[in-house]
Amino acid sequence: MIYSLRGKLVHTAPNIAVVECGGVGYGCKTTATTLASLPKQGAEVLLYTYLHITDNALDLFGFASSMELNFFKMVITVSGVGPKVALALLSDLTPEKLALCIAAGDYKALTRAPGVGNKIAQRIVLELKDKVSSDDLTLGVAESSAAADIGTGGLAEAIGALVALGYSRSDAAVAISKLDSTLSVEELIKGGLKALSSYK
């Protein structure tokens, strides 16, 4: 198993990065997210890798973070979903946002990725909903708040209040993530309670 590659970045193209290690250039299929995070050609780079073996090919996939690699491996466990779809999803959504969409059952958000129709998106949500961890969800809420250009304090306070009322942190995080990020803490808590009560 090739766990990772560390070497000189010698070439990039849409969905591929070539890393030279010991005089050998390894072509890694990858996401737009990883490509955007890579340094200039000639610089040292570390990619976490996955070797996908089929009857006709050996394909090496590389990712800038271990979390992105883990989500790639998780998505391709879904029946009927291959590496191409997994790359498309992770090019459109960060792992944290993908975790939130899956946990919230928001399959429509997944259909924005090329090649992901309603049936595939629903299958991904159904099969992965129990595999997404509470840590992934908390990171997703934090990322969503940063993208909305607000601090995480209000969101964290609202989630903490719901946890104090007996809800799990993951359920609270999902409920709060669906609300308007400009709401006050009190309004977030009320909205979160309303959303959580609808789950039952």
Q: Please write the tens of the pLDDT for every residue from 84-125.
A: 999 999 999 888 888 877 877 778 889 989 999 999 999 999
Domain boundaries, the chain: 4-63, 74-128, 134-199
From 94, 101, 7, 85, select the one nearest 46 (Cα to Cα).
7
**What pLDDT is attached to residue 123?**
95
74-128, which class in CATH?
mainly alpha
Strand-pair category, 58-63 with 16-21 = unpaired
CB within 8 A of 104, min separation 6: which ones? Answer: 174, 177, 178
* pLDDT level of residue 199 (50, 70, 90 thresholds): low
pLDDT at 200 over 70: no
pLDDT, residue 158, reads 80
| Residue range 179-191, pLDDT digits in tens | 876 788 888 888 8
What are the angstrom distances between the C-alpha of 130 and each of 72, 103, 105, 117?
Answer: 16, 8, 11, 21
Q: Which of 75-84, 90-99, 173-182, 188-197 has the highest mean pLDDT?
A: 75-84
CA dist 11 and 117 (Å) reads 32
Return the axis-axis angle of helices 83-92 and 66-75, rounded to nearest 10°. 130
Cα end-to-end distance, the chain, whole Å: 44
Whether the CB-CB separation of 52 and 16 falls below 8 Å is answered with no
**Banded pLDDT at 65 (limits 50, 70, 90):** very high
pTM of the predicted model, to two decimals?
A: 0.70
Class of domain 4-63: mainly beta
Contacts of residue 27, defined as CB under 8 A and 6 or more positions apart, other chains included, come to 16, 17, 18, 60
Confidence at residue 180, expressed as pLDDT on a 0 to 100 scale: 77
Give 47's strand partners: 5
Residues with Cβ within 8 Å of 148's Cβ and at least 6 positions away in sequence, in order, are 181, 182
Separation between Cα atoms, residue 47 and residue 3, nearest integer Å: 9
Instruction: State mean pLDDT over 118-135.
Output: 84
pLDDT digits (tens, 9 = 90+) for 9-53: 999 999 999 999 999 999 999 999 999 999 999 999 999 999 999
